[in-house]
Each structure stands twice: as C-alpha cells, then as structure tokens.
Amino acid sequence: MGFDGMNCPNCGADLPETLTRAKMVACRYCESAVVLEDDALRTAGEKGVMAEEPSLFVLGREIRYRRESWLPVGQARFSYGTGWWDEFWAVDGGGEGVWISVDEGEIAVERPYEIDVTLSPWQLKRGENVSLNGETFTVTEADTATCMALRGEFPEALHVGQAYRYWHLSGPMGRLVTLEFSEGEFAASEGVWVDPYLIRSENAGA
C-alpha cells in the first residue's frame, strides 16, 4: 500500500509515513493509539503518558552494538510487580524488526520466534524446564505486566492498560526466549542479552 497522507481518525492530524510499514502508531497530537487494519484506521485508546527516563535508546536515533545497528521506532512501557521496563521496537539495516527490552541496564534483543509445541500457561512455572523446537529452556521469570504508555510505531496492536502474562526462559549459551500470553494466544520471541557497556549511541556516553 502506498502512503497517501493518512490522518488520525480521532483528531485528523497527519500520521507519520512510517505507518505504511507498521501495524500501529501513536498519534503525536491527541495521544491516541492508531491501528491500521485492512487499510482502514481505527483508534485503539489512549497512548498514555511516557515519563521521561534516562535511556540509551531514543526513538529515531540509531544505536550500534558490536556489528549490528538498530533504529528504535516504537517505545512501549510496561509495569510489573516492582517496577517497569521499556520495550522498543527497532529496525535493523535490512529492515527487519527486533524487540529490545530495557530494564535498568538489563537489555535483551529478541526476534519473533515460531514455537512448535502447544503450551499452557499453567505448565510454565518458575524453575520448570520446557522443550522448545528440540531445545531445553528453563523458566527463570514469570509475571504479569501492564502496558503503561506507548510512543512511536509497532508491528502489532498494543493497548494501554492491557495486562500481558509473560515468561522469560533461559536456554543454552545464554539464549533467551520470551513467551507472552494475551487473549488466549502465545507469542514468542528469541534473542540474547546485550552488554550495555558495548552499546554505542549518542546517549551511551561511551
């Protein structure tokens, strides 16, 4: 679909051209989350208030890590029992998207991951081993997070105020799998932990 100057269905403001490659954007003017569905736009609630915090990641500023580089284009903030973390949607040099989760220097970069087993939330308990695609992972964290705020664009619809159950699984050679359960479905992503001291960005200070 070509970009033909779409407008926010709530306030009429121009939406960014990046909507052509995203599923969802947050309107910069009226704080509405706008979802693109079958070439039609609909609002998906408020985008929430994003309190500004020190971060290595800033929307629109490229970051480099070892031989890779990513451009963060969307930022979602989730709260959990004792704090909150940011989930950035970023695109790499080849246009592929990654999720970057950032929680006080604990940074993981993950890509969408297809799992070949049927899972039940009830079997995913902390400390349990789970076989995914022939590999054994251990559940290291299980919690529920609530979306607090959205900014930028995302490959899927997110809703401020919605709760998501999630699990972190640790696998061989430091591999990480995150499972997310929402509206009766699992979504999985797989990736690695990232050393923040090796990140190079305008905000890295190193």
Partner 1 sequence: MTDGFSPAPSRLAAINCTACGSPLPALAGHRARAMVCSYCGAVMDRHDAYRLLTRYRDMQRPEGPFQIGMTGEILGVEQVIVGIVGVTASIEHEDYHWTNYQLYSPTHGYSWMTWFDGHITHSRKTRDMPETGGNFAYKAPLAAAGRQFQMYEQYVARISYLEGELTWVPALGDRTQVIEAIDPPHGYSVVIGENETEFEFGTYLDRRETLAAFGVADEFPRARTVHAIQPFLPGSFHTALSGAGKLFAPVALVLGLTFLVIGTGKKITETVIVDTDAGGSLVFPLTRADRLAELRLTANVVNAWSWYDMELIHEESEETVAEFDKGLEYYEGYDSDGRWTEGSQTATFRFKPPAAGAYRLTITTGDPKSARLPVRVEVRENVMLSRYLFGLSIFFILCWLSLWFRQSRFEARRWGDDGEDDD
Q: Which residues bind partner 1 (CB under 8 A)?
A: 28-31, 47, 49-56, 81-84, 103-106, 149, 151, 173-174, 192-193, 195-197, 203-206
Closest approach of partner 1 to the CB of residue 122, in Å: 24
> In terms of CB distance, is 84 or 113 closer to partner 1?
84
Closest approach of partner 1 to the CB of residue 116, in Å: 25
Name residues whose C-beta falls within 8 Å of residue 192's C-beta, 6 or more positions apart in sequence: 108, 109, 174, 175, 176
> In terms of CB distance, is 97 or 196 closer to partner 1?
196
Please compute Rg for the chain using Cα positions: 17
> In terms of CB distance, is 184 or 205 closer to partner 1?
205
Token pair in block for residue 43: 């609002």
CB 149 within 8 A of CB 50: yes
* Residue 87 three-state SS: strand
Closest approach of partner 1 to the CB of residue 94, in Å: 24
Which residues is 139 bridged to in the sheet?
169
User: Can you tell me which residue has the tokens 């799992």?
Assistant: 115
SS (H, E, C) 178-192: EEEEECCEEEEEEEE
> In terms of CB distance, is 121 or 203 closer to partner 1?
203
User: Can you tell me which residue has the tokens 């609630």?
Assistant: 45
Closest approach of partner 1 to the CB of residue 163, in Å: 18
